[in-house]
Amino acid sequence: MKHRYFVEKLNRAAFIFSIIAILSTTSVLCHAETDMESAAASRKELPIQSNEIPGWPEGPQIGAEAAILMDVNTGTILYEKNIHEELYPASTTKIMTCLLAVENASLDDRVDFSYDAIHSVPADGSKIGMDAGEYLSLEECLYGIMVGSANEVSNAVAEHVSGSIDAFIDLMNEKAQSLGCTNTHFANANGLQDSNHYTSAYDLALIASEFFSNELLCRVGNTPRYHFEPSAGQPDDFYLNNKHKLITGEIPYEGIIGGKTGYTDLARETLVTCAERGGMKLVCVVFMEESPAQFTDTVTLFDYGFNNFKTVNIKSEETGYIPKDNSFFSSDKDIFSSQSSFLEFSKSDYAILPVNASLSDTTSTVSYDEDSENTGHIATINYSFNGVPVGSGHVIISQNSSVSLDNASDISDKMIYINIKLILIVLSIAGGALIFIIYLTSLIGAYSTGVSREDRKRLNRRKKEAKKRSGPRL
């Protein structure tokens, strides 16, 4: 009886302890949640630097510590909030990892998984369950990284591309520097928490712009679900589901091109997304936000961008810089030759402007390209709106052909080429000769007429004198 009584006491104590533990945990969680909500509210009051630009559409307040909305093609920054602050990127790091993978390896490459690649990832880190000695194709690895956010796959790709993770990290930092990143330092290939692993919203937007300029990476980065089938390299059949709600359609949004999620306790929620509408291809980076606000922030910023800005084609709108005469014999109106050269703006160049602004509202500067033979650009016109760079136009030499390339070979033997310069010389010589002949003829005529008149006068005088001498006839 004493034993049973003692057991009952222990059970009651354990039960009470469990209740206390649950209540304590709940209290801690509630307190933590309150702290996070308070922190988000404080971040929402942080200044938005783009709102200080005169004539610029006012951007929305969001709870992220830092955020940027940037046009991929022109680099125009539409929304700016603490974009140069150094923060932890978490798994959005993997955008750089995949970018370097496609630049330095082939999709059908075999990527082997080493013991270090797998076991350097903490037990609670995101992974897809690969074992040492297994392998995947590089293409499968890209989906494992972008869809499943697999840390061990990122490590394996790093080892495959550079021979070691450390060498790959050097490559990451070199690439970041080449893209213009100034507040970035990578310490791993997957984004696991490291005090020496950081970037900024602006730098990550530069990296993402490069990523989303690649058609293959756009396809991989916009995959909601991927199926891994058993293969010689790994025996399992499984699916990966993307956690990016704008990609899965859980939060519908038109024009999504792709993106990547990220999270660590210190980084909080991070998100990179790209969308395209109306000729604008925008990348949005959100740093240090609370779930699910990273998605709603992104939607808010995309709406702000697509509703308040427009693209302006420079070739269509620019009225200066290109000479209007552009030479009659070297223009697209040349009727004497089948091909000619003329200056024009590149057809694909455009600027991003507020919807109520025009190109005439911008300030432009000219820079001349000394390497025009390689670039094809004679000069570059850089446009800014109240100090904000909004795009560039490139002056190029174009060739206008009045004969289609398909028919050129068929009719080239039948074409008659006219040398305009030679024709003008011949016409000038012939005209001069004709004028000389006319002048000479007039001189001769005038001389002949003058001699005949004097002779007649002389003859008449002689007749009169002879008549006087002879006197009247009887």
- From the list 50, 91, 162, 209, the catalytic residue is 91
Two tokens at 190?
């997957």
Strand, helix or coil for residue 49: helix
8 Å CB contact between 126 and 191: no
Q: What secondary structure letter does DSSP report for 94?
A: H
φ, ψ dihedrals at 394, nearest 5°: -110, 125
For residue 398, list its beta bridge partners: 342
Q: How far apart are CA 263 and CA 293, in angstroms?
A: 13
Q: Are 270 and 94 in contact (CB under 8 A)?
A: no
Rg (CA), the chain: 41
Cis amide linkage into residue 89, ω under 30° from 0:
no
State the Cα–Cα distance between residues 112 and 133, nearest whole angstrom. 7
Given the residues 94, 127, 260, 281, the one annotated as active site:
94
The residue among 243, 268, 249, 227 whose CA lies nearest residue 126 is 243
Query: Catalytic site residue 281?
Result: no
DSSP-assigned letters across all residues of 335-402: SS-SEEEEEEE-TT-EEEEETT--GGGSEEEEEE-TTHHHH-EEEEEEEEETTEEEEEEEEEEEEEES
Q: Is 68 helix (H, G, I), strand (E, B) or coil?
A: strand
Query: Which DSSP string do the residues of 404-434 spell out, in sequence order?
Result: -HHHHHHHGGG-----HHHHHHHHHHHHHHH
Residues sharing a CB contact under 8 Å with residue 347, sequence separation 6 or more, in sequence order: 313, 315
Catalytic residue among 81, 126, 127, 149: 149
Let me know if 100 is exposed, middle or buried by CB neighbors in 10 A (0-12, 13-18, 19+): buried
Annotated catalytic, 398?
Answer: no
Element (H, E) at 28: helix 2-44
Strands (E) in 158-236, as ranges, are: 225-228
Give one DSSP letter per residue of 282-325, joined into a string: EEEEEEEE-TTHHHHHHHHHHHHHHHHEEEEEHHHH--SSS-SS
Task: Tell me the residue type at 45.
Answer: E
**Angle at the Cα of 20 (from 18 to 25), degrees rounded to 5?**
95
Round to whole Å and give the CA distance between 272 and 301.
Answer: 12
Active site residue 18: no
- Active site (catalytic) residues: 91, 94, 149
